[in-house]
Structure 1
Amino acid sequence: MSKKIQGAFFLFLFLSIANFSCQKEVSEDLLQEKNAATANKAGVNGHLQQTKTFSSEVITKWLDMQLAMFRIPLPAGTGTQATDRAMAYCGIAAYEAVVNGMPAYQSLEGQLTDFPEMPKTEPGKAYHWAASANAALAEMSRKLFPTTAAANKTAMDNLESSLNATYATEVNDATLQRSIAFGKEVATRVFAWAATDGSANVNPPYVPPVGWGLWVPTAATPPVNPYAYQRRLLVPGSSNNTDIELLPTFSTDPTSAFYAIVKEIYDVSKTLTAEQKAMADYFKDAPGYGAGGTYVAAFVQALNIVDFSLDKAALAYAKIGLAQHDATIILFVRKYIYNIMRPVTYIRLYIDPAWSTYIPTPNHPEFPSGHATITGGALTMMSNVFGEKFPMTLHTYDYLGYAPRSYSTFTQMGLDIANSRIYGGIHYRLTCERSIMQGKKVAENILSTIKFLKE
């Protein structure tokens, strides 16, 4: 496939994402205005101040706090949390902590898989919704990151206290304490639900199947996430119709289609430009923020650009978290069904025994691509939230000395993320192209299933 055709494919794909997202955004905005007007006129919930009157600062500050806890390498003796779990459950808790101050919106009760009943606010009583979100995110962060570094635990306490000190100057103590108690109760229920999602299951060491063309572990460490099928998808039906076309049949014949997709990776590796290397380095995760951290960092930076109110930020948090979470589970389930061999294994066996990838190969099967699948899901949601045309410059890895990367659309960002795995030598081009489509479908399923707005 020529570079022009490859570029056209990705452009078509992401424009379709943008079109879907923009249509959804326009219809949602119109419905929101209608429902909000009706709800406000009726005095729904009777609360004195709506969520939209607060800034999104509480959410951006807690996301920044969590990014610090995702950062790899971790201090010795500490641990972190899977990015997709933290993003999803914290996003849900933040949304539930403030949705009662959003007259046009509704709780996710009865919509997410096995989701518990959420606490109810007191009609006619005032709530400081930023304080509720602060309490919920502080509680969720402590529970999700129990083995983080001592400095991070102190930073969490300080952040919560600092925000509450500000809120204490804005409302009376009764309102502040009522709001904090509500947020904490939301987090308690969300975390209890999260604890039953299967991620803590104890399983025997995974032994990969052995056979012609099958994946061979690429590191001495345990395979990554082989029991993903035991984890709970948060949105019913999010995996519907997400099967994607498989790669060509495995073959070592130099005239075969499979050999051709491997040979492309080998040939590309021999002529990598400085820009291609920079792209591979920027999105390789380690050192950095770990798998999925790219989207958390991009989300925070986008929020800082648009200066959303708290209601929009909480809604965006929930949407992006749900897409990232379910896309991660779906892609890992498929990886261990197909067990496709990585380029490094094939090339060393059949082309060049001395060959090495530009970046380390993750220790899990090749197909589908984690980066590309999550890109399809997360960027579909970001287009839905912020719009496809969204100029931004990523400063995610300024602290590592990497040059900032600028984009005018989420399409451009997605191209970089997908292509970075090709230049890194760890994924076939067809895998990246098809995996983006899988993630896109996951996000579309979520957007068509979950009803955030009241009907």
Structure 2
Amino acid sequence: MRLLKSIFSVFAIAVMLYSCQPKDYSNAISDGSYQFAAQNKLTEIIINDIFSPPVASRIYAYPAIAAYEVAVLDRSGEYQTLMGQLNDFEKTNFEIEENVYLPLASLAAYYKVGTALIFSEELMQEHKEKAFKELKSKGIPNDVFEASLALGERVADHVIAYSKKDNYHQSRSFPKYSISNDPNAWQPTPPMYMEGIEPHWNKIRPFVLEASDQFKSAPPTPFDTEKGSDFYREAEEVFNVVKNLTKEQSDIAYFWDCNPYKVNVKGHVMFAEKKITPGGHWMGIAAISSRTAKQDWKGAAETLAKTSIAVFDGFIACWDEKYRSVLIRPETYINKYIDEDWLPVLQTPPFPEYTSGHSVISNAASETLTSLFGDNFHFVDSTEVAFGLPVREFKSFRLAADEAAISRMYGGIHYMPAIVNGASKGKKVGEFLVNKIDTKAEKLAAK
């Protein structure tokens, strides 16, 4: 009996000593999972707060840049800061305490910047507190936690200060778009007849572009109502494609709809259908790709930062053309000159037609992602599953961008030149970004 008691006592002491040992928290955050979860929450809030696609691109970009700037501080020196590379992003030094856990600091920076850019701050705050509670349970000591959060907040403050100089807040007081009576000009479309959104987005400071019109598109086809004219044929093409749509084409149209303004009408009742923005879709693809490639947390931060920059600058380039040409949408033209009862498959978004936003930002994002993962990168796009749509598989980012672009024809909301020239503009934006900024330290050193 005494022997058993002795053995039990030794065992109890051993258990107690083991339980008192600090847990190894070095892999508490090993990949991008926590940042992806934070981004998903940001997407939910963007939808909830009904931010426009251009504004949403801004909300995705600054938090991703902040998270990446913490990753740059890793002692490996693998990554290079974007300070001094992005337009007007001033360099500064961040003091790092010995007990800082950089992956946590990166996540803290993401949460702080993201929360500063939305309306429903409490929703992001709740999500952050839940994530931090889970991380504390993984054994991160209190002093490490506090030091990491302090660093993340210092980086976030620098990025927030940078964001305040991009002309966004000033643009909130710029005049609204004035509807033109010109027959070729864009008109608000049913069912809500909303005014044109963000007519001054070309005045927002881009991250890498030298000017909003750096990759100015050729003018759209001259407006004409004559049967057989080039413009009439372009509208007729949209009319016929929608009229003879296959199931696959219909599936593609709905998969890439990404219209946060969709309103359903049933009798006298109108209700909004919450949807992800085009930029949100591609940020989802970026996260999926990072996970597929098994990137660590630093690589994930790089992927989200570079993709968000491409999407942001893509919207600036696209909106610059939209409110220069201010072109009539197919729905308006076809109803007036071809068939008054015709309806597009997708609800027409509330801004001018030329060029196609999906075509521009999809190609800007795809060029950026291709530079990170290669041209033959297979991925399963499950971004729209949360919104009731099935997955789609792609063999490359460029093929996904091609499908996103042509989806606008299938949806009946764009003429072909807006798709073709929009894709060309987006590729130029993406290529320019890839050539202008370097995130890998060895590449910058080689210049």
TM-score computed with the length of structure 2 as normaliser: 0.83
Contact 2:368/2:433 (8 A) holds in 1: no
- 2:159 corresponds to 1:183: no
Which has the larger displacement, 367-376 or 104-113? 104-113
Which whole-Å deviations, capped at 9, do the CAs of 1:212-264 have from their partners, x for residues lacking one? 41222224322111011221112252657412233321111212111111110
2:186 match: 215
Contact 1:238/1:446 (8 A) holds in 2: no
Aligned with 2:227 (options 254, 272, 279): 254
Contact 2:207/2:309 (8 A) holds in 1: yes
Mapping 1:90-105, distance limit 5 Å: 90-101=63-74, 102-105=76-79
Residue 136 of structure 1 and its aligned partner are, at CA, apart by: 0.3
Residue 379 of structure 1 and its aligned partner are, at CA, apart by: 0.7
Residue 414 of structure 1 and its aligned partner are, at CA, apart by: 1.4
1:392 match: 379
- 2:209 corresponds to 1:229: no
Where in structure 2 are there 5+ consecutive unaligned residues? 1-24, 260-273
2:133 match: 161
Which has the larger displacement, 111-120 or 247-256? 111-120
2:236 match: 263
1:110 match: 84
**Distance of 1:271 and 1:164 partners within structure 2:** 57
- 2:38 corresponds to 1:62: yes
Amino acid in structure 1 at the alignment position of 2:33: E
Aligned with 1:139 (options 101, 112, 115): 112
TM-score computed with the length of structure 1 as normaliser: 0.81
Amino acid in structure 2 at the alignment position of 1:161: K
**Distance of 1:392 and 1:106 partners within structure 2:** 27
Q: What SS does the aligned partner of 2:73 have?
A: helix
Residue 122 of structure 1 and its aligned partner are, at CA, apart by: 3.6
| CA distance 1:98–1:205, change in 2 (3 Å) | same
Q: What SS does the aligned partner of 1:406 have?
A: strand
Q: What SS does the aligned partner of 2:379 have?
A: strand
Q: What SS does the aligned partner of 1:84 have?
A: helix
1:8 match: none
**Distance of 2:417 and 2:136 partners within structure 1:** 50
Residue 327 of structure 1 and its aligned partner are, at CA, apart by: 0.8
Which whole-Å deviations, capped at 9, do the CAs of 1:140-167 have from their partners, x for residues lacking one? 122122335x55542232123323443x
Residue 442 of structure 1 and its aligned partner are, at CA, apart by: 0.9
- The two structures, once aligned, show a CA RMSD in angstroms of 2.3
| CA distance 1:222–1:240, change in 2 (3 Å) | closer
1:6 match: none
Mapping 1:348-359, distance limit 5 Å: 348-359=335-346
1:415 match: 402
| CA distance 1:79–1:195, change in 2 (3 Å) | farther
1:380 match: 367
**Distance of 1:250 and 1:240 partners within structure 2:** 22
- 2:169 corresponds to 1:195: no
| CA distance 1:122–1:242, change in 2 (3 Å) | same
Contact 2:290/2:299 (8 A) holds in 1: no
Residue 417 of structure 1 and its aligned partner are, at CA, apart by: 0.7
Amino acid in structure 2 at the alignment position of 1:339: V
Where in structure 1 are there 5+ consecutive unaligned residues? 1-48
Contact 1:88/1:318 (8 A) holds in 2: yes
Amino acid in structure 2 at the alignment position of 1:206: Y
Mapping 1:5-16, distance limit 5 Å: none
| CA distance 1:281–1:415, change in 2 (3 Å) | same
Contact 2:290/2:303 (8 A) holds in 1: no
Q: What SS does the aligned partner of 2:309 have?
A: helix
Contact 2:363/2:398 (8 A) holds in 1: no
**Distance of 1:215 and 1:445 partners within structure 2:** 30
Contact 2:99/2:143 (8 A) holds in 1: no
Contact 1:341/1:366 (8 A) holds in 2: yes
2:350 match: 363
**Distance of 1:173 and 1:351 partners within structure 2:** 69
Which whole-Å deviations, capped at 9, do the CAs of 1:57-116 have from their partners, x for residues lacking one? 232222222222233xx3xxx555732112211121011112011414322222222223
1:436 match: 423
Contact 2:381/2:392 (8 A) holds in 1: yes
Q: What SS does the aligned partner of 1:242 have?
A: coil
**Distance of 1:262 and 1:321 partners within structure 2:** 33
**Distance of 1:91 and 1:267 partners within structure 2:** 42
Residue 326 of structure 1 and its aligned partner are, at CA, apart by: 0.8
Which has the larger displacement, 127-136 or 238-247? 238-247
- How many aligned positions are there? 396
Which whole-Å deviations, capped at 9, do the CAs of 1:168-206 have from their partners, x for residues lacking one? x25x54443322211111111111221221222212332
Which has the larger displacement, 97-106 or 178-187? 97-106
| CA distance 1:239–1:440, change in 2 (3 Å) | farther
1:26 match: none
Amino acid in structure 2 at the alignment position of 1:62: A
Contact 2:213/2:317 (8 A) holds in 1: no
**Distance of 1:282 and 1:108 partners within structure 2:** 33
- Identity percentage of aligned residues: 26
**Distance of 1:306 and 1:178 partners within structure 2:** 31
Aligned with 1:278 (options 251, 267, 289): 251
| CA distance 1:261–1:50, change in 2 (3 Å) | farther
| CA distance 1:157–1:406, change in 2 (3 Å) | same
Contact 1:239/1:442 (8 A) holds in 2: no
**Distance of 1:240 and 1:189 partners within structure 2:** 28
Contact 1:297/1:396 (8 A) holds in 2: yes
Q: What SS does the aligned partner of 2:380 have?
A: strand
**Distance of 1:93 and 1:152 partners within structure 2:** 16
Higher relative contact order (CA 8 A, sep 6+): 1
Which has the larger displacement, 179-188 or 196-205? 196-205
Amino acid in structure 2 at the alignment position of 1:304: R
Q: Which has the larger radius of gyration?
A: 2
Which has the larger displacement, 194-203 or 258-267? 194-203
2:389 match: 402
**Distance of 1:440 and 1:146 partners within structure 2:** 33
